[in-house]
Amino acid sequence: MSNSKVIPLPQLPVTEVLPALDQALADHARAVLVAPPGAGKTTLVPIHLLQADWRGDGMIVLLEPRRLAARAAARRMAELMGEEPGATVGYRMRLESKVSAKTKILVVTEGVFARMILDDPDLKGVAAVLFDEFHERSLDADFGLALALDVQAGLRDDLKILVMSATLDGARVASLLGDAPVMTSEGRAYPIDIRYRERKPDERIEDAMARAIREALTQETGSILAFLPGQGEIERTAQQLESQLPANVILAPLYGAMEGRDQDIAIKPAPTGKRKIVLATSIAETSLTIDGVRVVIDSGLARLPKYEPATGLTRLETVRASRAAADQRAGRAGRTEPGIAIRLWHSGQTASLPPFSPPEILEADLSGLVLNCAAWGVTDPATLAFLDPPPKPALAEARSLLTRLGALDEAGRLTPEAQAMRALALPVRLAHMVAEAAKRGEAQAAAELAMLLTERGLGGNDADLETRASRIRNDRSDRAQRAKGLAKRLAASVPNKGQPAGSSIGRMLLDAYPDRIAKARGQVGQFLLANGRGGEVDAGLSLSRAPWLVVADMSGKAGRARILSAAEISETEIRMALGNKIESGKQVIYDPEKNALRAREAVRIGAIALSEKPLAAPSGAAADEGVIAAVRQHGLSILPWSKEAETLRRRLGWLHKGLGEPWPSMEDGYLLEKLEDWLLPFLTGEAQLNRIPGHALKNGLMSLVPFDLQRNVDKLAPTHFEVPTGSHIPIRYDAEEPVIAVRVQELFGLAVHPAIADGKVPLLLELLSPAHRPIQITRDLPGFWKGSWADVRADMRGRYPRHVWPEDPATADPTRRAKPRGQ
């Protein structure tokens, strides 16, 4: 065994699998540990592995998905060892570090590890790398694992790799790791009572959450953990609660943009005699324990980033949380005693939640990945060992951006400019901004601007970056001081050339976002961006009256997205900086507000006309080519999808997922890549996109299906299912399995479960009451008739006495009607 002192560890569920883990890592270089929240994997496993013979004097590196989780894990392990962070257990993250020569367990965020391994491929002094909460599938975690496997295979066969997760397809990860052994630990056995409090259709989530919290405060004991999608919803919920809380209740928000000390308030136990309400984002799902929580209230929503290659923007999209996330959230209520999980949706909706959140690699901007892979000597990221390969369209867009920024040559190799960009721990656009500013003697100012754009809430949340920049200069908070210190270190890595030129913030932003120059449209607050997208600023803000902006961030739909951060710039600055990008000539452009093409003769920069003369609307082939260009830039949503075309797309997408090739993918990326194959041949020369006939999209999608398979579409994935009453019930293909929602009386007399695809694929049945309200979801109709039907029948007879509720529905006559009057 290693010469480290033996630390007495608490007995937690993961303790039982530690001997198997020891054996697995002694015999193999790779292993997988699946353990639910509360099992103790994050804190116990790294400390336990200090005693392993194979460790020698090497360091154990533990990766956490977020700074909050990394700090909390390091503190808890140090506490178990009777130390403070920075001794045996240290941590390192973007704005904070506590590490010493004594450190043997180093907790890092996933992005920090990626830089560690890129800077030192040998991972000198590292004995093992532990990927915690890998089920969250961040891009940095996927990339870090791919690099670690590459290092292990080529340079360090003694390096140990352990992937740990709460909810994960262990077999799939084990396969990626070369059939690595998988250990599974059980979680705590405290029961959780799951209750449903359906939110009204027109009720705002903060209103529903505040109502549920007030009820739980009066009806239950213990502290409350409430999950909301984002900071805005947290703040609005807090405003509703603050004036109505008893004196013994502490209200504690918890989200990523908070100061560390404020996050600690949410995590620490409530003082004796006090209760706590923690309003949290998904940051609290995994990796940390919030002591004293007995009640969890789940909004059922999450906010996920989604990258739009056409605009270069990553927008946060509010979506339904996955089933895995809902289970993890509920599990927070049963960490120390029996608990309660209240879900603000109908119980019938749970089965239709997506199983897992999509991996970030499928939704993210991949420019940083491509740049880092090039630094690793890999021109094609798909050759590395990723659990999900990066999408080809996103890779192509990333290479195009890096080439435009001068970071890659035509062969995909790093240029000298890229070396300067890589010295900066920033997204590639911002790295390019700082590197260009250094040529004007302004690296420090640009680096501070980069901090504002990467640290949410720093300098406030004003849309005007000039205002935020002035605030940060006078901000003496710990977070601001750490950010300014990091900016100073970043600036030092790209030395200035000459004296500062005095550029405005808008001019500096131009080097990062030349495609997001925005020109006022005439109406106050309305702007057109060079990338063709429309944006708006609140009319009450000074930015709304600027003639020109450079936009750093925006959210919402393409036509009128909300500009979240920007800076003013002059046309003179634009012409001086981007003179080589100013073009003139005839142009067909897309007007998002009218969803139509128009033609003009213009002097322009991107979609913005510096001067223009209108021409007749395009028609024929010119219009068709314009439609293809517009869809490629703005996405498939601008097309006039008929209900039939949307349904066909879902059906074909389901067939592709279930049967694979040659059934075509219906994902956005694939369809955008193949526009000339399926859409262009069916266009009719219309400049108004809304006039494209509905059958054009339907026929176009069907053309992607090999001719000999087309006749099987209706057979394998029908649009409707005929129930015993003769009704044709639409089949939904928007979930993992096909679903029909049908009144339960129409299934009377059916003794076998409904299925499609020659009876091989059972339908998920959403059984409805006579009022079309969900009463049960089942994948086993005969089992339902024999089992819980009796309870449903008792309830329904009281609610709907004029309807038939037989004791044996499997042999009863189906019906669409109530009983005749008098019966």
**Model confidence pLDDT, tens digit, residues 177-199:** 999 999 998 766 678 899 999 88
Q: How confident is the model at residue 552 (pLDDT cuts 50, 70, 90)?
A: very high
What percent of the chain lies above the pLDDT cut of 70? Answer: 96
* Residue-by-residue DSSP string for 547-574: SEEEEEEEES-STTEEEEEEEE--HHHH
66-70, 463-467, 733-737: which has the highest mean pLDDT? 463-467
Q: Is residue 574 within 8 Å of 515, Cβ to Cβ?
A: no
pLDDT, residue 3, reads 52
Mean pLDDT of 509-520: 93
Domain 367-514: top CATH class: mainly alpha
> Regarding predicted confidence, which is higher, 99 or 476?
99
> Regarding predicted confidence, which is higher, 112 or 200?
112
Q: Which of 223-227, 264-268, 480-484, 707-711 has the lowest average pLDDT?
A: 264-268
260-289 burial string, b = 16+ CB within 10 Å, else e? eeebbbbbeebeeeebbbbbbbbbbbbbbb
Do the domains at 13-184 and 367-514 have one common CATH topology? no
Mean pLDDT of 371-393: 91
**Model confidence pLDDT, tens digit, residues 410-420:** 888 889 888 88
**Model confidence pLDDT, tens digit, residues 69-82:** 898 899 999 999 99
**Model confidence pLDDT, tens digit, residues 352-370:** 888 888 899 998 899 999 9
Cβ neighbours of 4 (radius 10 Å)? 15
Q: Is residue 484 within 8 Å of 447, Cβ to Cβ?
A: no
Domain covering 192-361, topology: Rossmann fold (3.40.50)
Is the pLDDT reported for residue 685 higher than 60?
yes
Q: Which of 122-126, 313-317, 383-387, 563-567 has the lowest average pLDDT?
A: 313-317
pLDDT, residue 495, reads 84
Beta partners for residue 343, in sequence order: 196, 298
What percent of the chain lies above the pLDDT cut of 90? Answer: 55
Q: How confident is the model at residue 740 (pLDDT cuts 50, 70, 90)?
A: very high
Domain edges within the chain: 13-184, 192-361, 367-514, 638-715, 718-799
The per-residue pLDDT of the chain, averaged, comes to 89
pLDDT, residue 87, reads 95
**Model confidence pLDDT, tens digit, residues 524-537:** 999 999 888 889 99
Is the pLDDT reported for residue 331 higher than 50?
yes
Q: Cβ neighbours of residue 510 under 8 Å, at least 6 residues apart?
A: 517, 550, 569, 573, 574, 577, 578
- Rounded to an integer, what distance in angstroms lies between the CA atom of residue 543 and that of residue 426? 26
Q: Helices (H) and strands (E) in the chain — how many of each?
A: 28, 31
pLDDT, residue 168, reads 65
The CATH code for residues 13-184 is 3.40.50.300
Beta partners for residue 743, in sequence order: 768
Q: Which of 5-9, 53-57, 281-285, 708-712 has the lowest average pLDDT?
A: 5-9
What is the Cα 636 distance to its own chain's centre? 20
**Model confidence pLDDT, tens digit, residues 590-642:** 988 899 999 988 888 888 888 888 899 999 999 999 999 999 988 999 999 99
Q: What is the DSSP letter of 615?
A: E
pLDDT, residue 287, reads 61
In angstroms, the first-to-last Cα distance of the chain is 82
Would you state the structure tokens that stand for residue 632, as one six-digit string? 């490629």
Beta partners for residue 568, in sequence order: 549
Q: What is the DSSP letter of 594?
A: T
Q: What is the DSSP letter of 138?
A: -
Give which of 532, 719, 723 is closest to 635, Cα–Cα.
532
pLDDT, residue 1, reads 44
